[in-house]
A and B are shown apart, each in its own frame.
Chain A
């Protein structure tokens, strides 16, 4: 009887609220993210960007509201089950498995994030890992300990590890912070290439050039609320966004 919705959102966040004691980090946040979209998430420090993605990836329990992923309510799922459903993330401060090599880091994703019980021979797994590493420009570092990686390599490794989980939604949390201009471009090109493979990407970033170049839509958070959402140009021109960044 009901006509199908024109396009089901990949991720629907509805009235999400997260409190830390008396502090409300996210206040009634609602947003739909379309499949294949490239969304830039901006906002001043402490505005709730990382809290929001912690709620999406399951690291935090929320006080109210729901998170729907591909039509399924995932609000109460633990992080590993969300990963298996196709939500991957990188971390603001890289969190490699530091006792492992780069390729072993990705093996963890192959072992646990993809469908359980399907036996894949070691050689084929290695091939998968190497192809992900090749795409992220880390092929030469495959058998090096993650403790020996540079900052930009660590960021790429995190993205590669996230990619190895075969995500439908990738959340990149300030993957470019602290990188040089040319390194920012490298990581940005990498994210754009991933977006070309039908992966929906939410990118948290402070570097405005990167946000402008990357995003189809930009969402700005301030004090736990969405104060603007729209095309990059619209959001940049928004009075409240400028106030949030420059102060009044």
Chain B
């Protein structure tokens, strides 16, 4: 346990150091621009799997949380000119509250009914923001970036590093939940909710906790997005593609362990970026769909499941 922790935290420190060095050394803008999107998807899919994977509640509302994060930042920038750190922290708080509200409204529903309810909530929020003049309404809003911090050469590189920090934070939280009694409780209620209750697991409270944490992280990662594109509009901030892509990343990677969605997000994220550059961004969606179908049919437990099965097969062969 202890050693695992040391390995994890040194890995995280190395990762951040490498990201930081890259922002100092590499002068080409494109890798950061593309890398930012991949990091953002890692946060989203790891956060998604806290509720969707550990607890088994398939949330189609990722876009709602992401979009609310974007617009929390937009609102703060317009109203107060708050710095990036404040935007992210505020978005996390709004996300936690939204998670609590969504959870209270929907977590008594199970299976597909929960998923449908999350789509509905997503649409309700998008419609509200579309009609909110102050933040630009349907036409969207231009955002001006403030001057970049001294450490970095330009804003995108700084955002890239900030997103990397969010990745480490999200993974650390997901890892803690997975290893702790919370994770065991979520796993129990995913397997059988009534049996879990009758074994003493406060199922509703744990689900709410998962929804709050997951929502806070999704919103937090949405906050810098407005600064990233210097523009925000409801139909892209609340794009259902976020929900579908994130779900696909988590499921393809595997949801039993935090590393699953990380692998899924890197794999799909890189593929998407390559396809967007080489062919077209439309092909993205097609490839995503095909991969999701392939995995659901051939490897329902994702890449993690495949690796485990291979490991067990080898162990079985030796004895």
Q: Indicate with 1 or 0, residue by residue over A10-37, a CB within 8 angstroms of chain B CB atoms.
A: 0000000000000000000000000000
Give the residues in chain B near A111, CB-CB below 8 Å.
181, 184-185, 200
Chain B nearest CB: distance from A40 CB in Å?
A: 21
Surface stretch bound by B, among A93-101, A130-138, A200-208, A214-222: A93-101
Show the binding face of A for B, using Cβ within 8 Å: 57-59, 78-81, 83-84, 88-89, 91, 95-100, 104, 107-109, 111-114, 161-162, 165
List, sorted by A's number, 13 A–B pairs whose CB atoms are closer than 8 Å. Answer: A58-B197, A59-B197, A78-B202, A80-B196, A80-B198, A80-B199, A99-B256, A107-B184, A108-B184, A108-B199, A108-B201, A113-B199, A114-B200
CB neighbors of A among B194-248 (8 A): 194-204
The reply to whether B197 and A165 form a contact with Cβ atoms under 8 Å apart is no
Nearest 7 pairs between A and B by C-beta? A113-B200, A112-B200, A79-B197, A95-B195, A97-B191, A83-B200, A111-B181
Give the residues in chain B near A113, CB-CB below 8 Å.
199-200
| Interface: B318 (CB within 8 A) | no
User: Bound complex: CA of A109 vs CA of B184, how far in Å?
Assistant: 10
User: Bound complex: CA of A191 vs CA of B10, how far in Å?
Assistant: 51
Contact of B200 among A91, A95, A165 (CB under 8 A): A165
With A97-B188, A108-B188 as known contacts, state yes or no: A79 contacts B198, CB within 8 Å.
yes
Residue among A59, A83, A107, A162 facing the most chain B CB atoms (10 A cut-off): A83
The reply to whether B198 and A88 form a contact with Cβ atoms under 8 Å apart is yes
Give the residues in chain A near B201, CB-CB below 8 Å.
80, 108, 112
User: Bound complex: CA of A57 vs CA of B204, how far in Å?
Assistant: 17
| Interface: B284 (CB within 8 A) | no
The reply to whether B197 and A84 form a contact with Cβ atoms under 8 Å apart is no
Residue among B187, B197, B256 facing the most chain A CB atoms (10 A cut-off): B197
User: Bound complex: CA of A80 vs CA of B185, how far in Å?
Assistant: 12
User: Bound complex: CA of A205 vs CA of B198, how far in Å?
Assistant: 20
| Interface: B192 (CB within 8 A) | yes
User: Bound complex: CA of A113 vs CA of B199, how far in Å?
Assistant: 6
